[in-house]
Chains A and B, each alone.
Chain A
Amino acid sequence: MPVKITVQEPLRKLLDNQPVVEMCGSTVGDIFRALRQRYPYFVERMTEPDGSVRRFVNVYVNEEDIRFLQNQQTAVQDGDEIRIIPSIAGG
């Protein structure tokens, strides 16, 4: 069972409007590389040229921000969910 990736509107159109995309890999970085194969535009837009995640994009493995884990080295297992969410304002 691979890892599930979810993205919200309006960015979902970059993933062919699919609510969930599934990819295989053992770290977040692996998943991004796999995602880049199928959706190159999406990954190029959410990352800097050096491959780091852009500063306005938050990436979560299940419920945790990867910056509190091991960033793109964070290990993922079958059935985990990766959420990619642009940062939003305060309240």
Chain B
Amino acid sequence: MKALKCRECGREYPLTATHVCEFDFGPLEVVYDYDKIKGALTRATIESRRKSMWRYRELLPTAGEPTVGLEVGFTPLIKADRLAKRLGIRELWIKNDTVNYPTLSFKDRVVSVALSRAKELGFTTVACASTGNLANSVAANAASAGLKSYVFIPSDLETGKIVNSLVYGANVVGIKGHYDEVNRLCAEIAGKYGWAFVNVNMRPYYAEGSKSMGYEIAEQLGWRLPQHTVVPMASGSLLTKIEKSYQELTKLGLVSGCNGSVPGAQRTGCSPISVAQTAGLDFFKPVKPNTIAKSLAIGTPADGFYALKVMKETGGAADDVTDDEIREGIRLLAECEGIFTETAGGVTVGVAKKLIASGKIPSSDSAVLCITGNGLKTLDAIMGHVGQPREIRPSLREFEAMLESENKSAISA
């Protein structure tokens, strides 16, 4: 890494814990010395390293070797033939971050970068504002790194996500408000206390961790960029960073093929980015979030402008889906591929289905769906929508009677 740079005016800043340009209040981003990296990073070098996101460490923002989350990433890329058939597309892949280590979501990627950098900068307390997954990851990775943690979440989150932060001994603070309100409060707390807030003052480093998902997709496809990469959008950061990862790999000569489209997925009613994209606007109107997809419940997306720009430049469409379509997406992925995703994954599958049906993703193409979190964390959203187990006594006769009655009703149906 060379410096921090304002994404708006290009002014450079030293590599400290800061996130905002003092001249136009724009967000800061890490810049790298790509000429130097080009000489050092080859496919063979990467392939010789252990299978974690840190095999691309030259492209991730730590000064020295990483110290937190060394096993994060390199999750499976699954060829999803059964789901491809159901969605009506020639070829489909699932980037399966439901099994990311250690907290079962893509957030482990950003947190391992943010905490490694926080340790380099001398912080002993880390914190975040979160819709759930980030809180889980900060809590777990801070525990294993011996750091103190504070996580701030909307108080109405799914029980699974609350327990998944508490168990690590984190200080969990539930805020009576939605995520954008939690975020506002955290900006004030971050200004007052000297903590490393992963998505506030550590944001330039934190956000770069998402790029590892894109590097892995390209490597796992045989050093090839996908034609379409469908990404769920909350703040819009992941989408912009996946596209950045593809650009970097191209710049470094590590991949063949040209950049494909990066369509974005949101939930209807909390979809400021997809609404703006379909209306052809380059700005969004903030909304009050209200959705079962709580991990995507951000009404004022910080990277919304950049996500719109990326979709426009790559020819990526956007769409949004209802809560029922989210549940259908969760079931489709589970029934076709044996992968249980949280609501954000249901959004991605549901939007992919719509984009394929409308021809915005041509059925003769190949697409990757980014599935970012595990369904065990959002059981509340799907409970009561996947049927009930049939109960019988431990008797073979009862079992056979049950089968017979089900066969009869199946025939008559």
Contacts and interface: CB of A to CB of B under 8 A. Distances in A.
Interface of A: 6, 8-14, 45-46, 54-58, 60, 63, 65, 67-68, 83, 85-91
Given A8-B190, A88-B200, A91-B129, 18 more contacts: A10-B20, A12-B191, A13-B22, A55-B305, A56-B25, A56-B27, A63-B177, A63-B181, A65-B180, A85-B188, A86-B19, A87-B300, A88-B183, A88-B302, A89-B206, A90-B302, A91-B179, A91-B183
Contacts of A90: 131, 179, 199, 234-237, 298, 301-303
A67 B285 CA distance: 8
A60 B181 CA distance: 10
Given A87-B302, A89-B203, A56 B184 contact: no
Interface string B292-322: 0000001011110100000000000000000
30 contacts: A8-B187, A8-B190, A8-B191, A10-B20, A10-B22, A11-B22, A12-B191, A45-B22, A54-B24, A54-B25, A54-B26, A56-B8, A56-B302, A63-B181, A67-B300, A68-B286, A86-B20, A86-B27, A87-B27, A87-B300, A88-B129, A88-B186, A88-B200, A89-B235, A89-B303, A90-B131, A90-B236, A91-B107, A91-B129, A91-B235
Contacts of A88: 19, 129, 183, 186-187, 199-200, 203, 302
B18 interface: yes
A89 B184 contact: no
B134 interface: yes
Interface residues of B, number: 49
- A-B residue pairs, 7 tightest by C-beta: A90-B235, A8-B191, A91-B134, A91-B130, A87-B302, A89-B199, A86-B20
A89 B207 contact: yes
Nearest to A63: B181
- By DSSP majority rule, is chain A's interface helix, strand, loop, or mixed? mixed
B197 to A, nearest CB: 8
A56 B236 CA distance: 14
A83 B24 contact: no
B135 interface: yes
Contacts of B8: 56
A20 to B, nearest CB: 12
Contacts of A45: 22-25
A56 B26 contact: yes
B123 interface: no
Interface string B107-149: 1000000000000000000001111011100000000000000
A6 to B, nearest CB: 8
A58 B181 CA distance: 11
A86 to B, nearest CB: 4
Nearest to A12: B191
A38 B138 CA distance: 41
Interface in B221-240: 234-237
Nearest to B200: A88
A6 B236 CA distance: 27
B283 interface: yes
Contacts of A86: 19-20, 25, 27, 187
B244 interface: no
A12 B183 CA distance: 19
B288 interface: yes
A57 B283 CA distance: 14
Contacts of B135: 91
Contacts of A11: 20, 22, 25
A74 to B, nearest CB: 14
Contact of B300 (A10, A46, A54, A65): A65
Nearest to B131: A91
Contacts of A6: 188
Nearest to A53: B25
A28 to B, nearest CB: 16
Nearest to A54: B25
Given A56-B27, A90-B234, A90-B301, A85 B134 contact: no
B22 A85 contact: no
A26 to B, nearest CB: 24
B334 to A, nearest CB: 26
Contacts of B23: 45
A49 B237 CA distance: 27
Contacts of B300: 58, 65, 67, 87
A83 B206 CA distance: 25
A31 B154 CA distance: 31
